[in-house]
């Protein structure tokens, strides 16, 4: 499951087997919000993230951590005009993200779902506001995948550390939050494991689930 639940890839088939793309109408309104708010925008097409050139060249002024800056440079494809690029690919977008301050993220978090049609809003890091189709989300997509595999939600286990993992953790029979998870995730998780930098997933398998 990737793109905040907007897509599922099969390792064995080596292809995308499910997708829930944004509508062209929602992309158009999101672009209008980008113009109004003057925030850095990222778009994802077929799992590939694209972002504005200046941001990819030097992410640190946009509240990125040193680790985050290295990750952005390694994963984002720079685009000269992200607004024009998004408009040209409006029928292909997995998701759109705004890079913003914590204050702007909190201000827009509640309002964007009312302003932009057919989207849900989430966040994986504190300086990122992410939008996908209203029927996407890791929780709904997890349920789709479990049904395809013939596995009940009660038999599933999920790990997460951010708000975009909330529904997935809630829907899984066993939801495990990392020690560094957001407060919302810690509240809904069945268990809490170690920090992700301290082998939290391995610790959970050995000491919480006790399968190894």
The predicted structure's pLDDT at residue 110: 83
Q: Is the pTM of this model over 0.85?
A: yes
Residue 148 CB neighbour total at 10 angstroms: 12
The predicted structure's pLDDT at residue 181: 96
**pLDDT digits over 34-79, tens only?**
999 999 999 999 999 999 999 999 999 998 999 999 999 999 999 9
The predicted structure's pLDDT at residue 212: 64
Between 94 and 110, the higher pLDDT residue: 94
CA–CA distances in Å: residue 211 to residues 151, 156, 189, 207: 18, 14, 19, 8
Taking the CA atoms of residue 92, residue 143, residue 110 and residue 118 in that order, the dihedral angle to the nearest 10 degrees is 40
- The whole-angstrom separation of Cα 143 and Cα 145 is 5
**pLDDT digits over 150-175, tens only?**
999 999 999 999 999 999 999 999 99
Average pLDDT over residues 73-94: 98
Between 109 and 24, the higher pLDDT residue: 24
Residue 211 pLDDT level (bands cut at 50, 70, 90): confident
Average pLDDT over residues 182-191: 95
Which helix H or strand E contains 53, and what residues bound it? helix 53-57
Residue 210 pLDDT level (bands cut at 50, 70, 90): confident
CA atoms within 13 A on the CB side of 72: 28
The predicted structure's pLDDT at residue 126: 87
């Amino acid at each position: 499951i990737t793109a905040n639940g907007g897509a599922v890839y099969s390792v064995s088939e080596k292809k995308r087997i499910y997708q829930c793309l944004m509508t062209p109408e929602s992309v158009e309104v999101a672009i209008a919000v980008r113009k109004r708010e003057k925030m850095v925008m990222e778009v994802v097409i077929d799992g590939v993230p694209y972002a504005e050139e200046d941001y990819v060249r030097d992410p640190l002024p946009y509240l990125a951590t040193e680790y985050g800056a290295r990750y952005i440079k390694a994963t984002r494809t720079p685009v000269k005009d992200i607004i024009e690029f998004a408009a040209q690919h409006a029928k292909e977008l997995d998701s759109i993200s705004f890079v913003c301050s914590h204050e702007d993220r909190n201000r827009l978090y509640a309002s964007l779902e009312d302003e932009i049609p057919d989207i849900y809003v989430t966040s994986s890091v504190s300086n990122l506001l992410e939008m996908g189709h209203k029927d996407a989300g890791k929780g709904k997509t997890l349920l789709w995948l479990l049904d395809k595999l013939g596995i009940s939600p009660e038999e599933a286990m999920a790990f997460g550390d951010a708000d975009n993992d909330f529904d997935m953790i809630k829907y899984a029979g066993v939801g495990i939050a990392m020690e560094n998870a957001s407060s919302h995730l810690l509240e809904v998780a069945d268990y809490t494991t170690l920090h992700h930098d301290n082998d939290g997933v391995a610790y959970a398998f050995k000491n919480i689930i006790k399968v190894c």
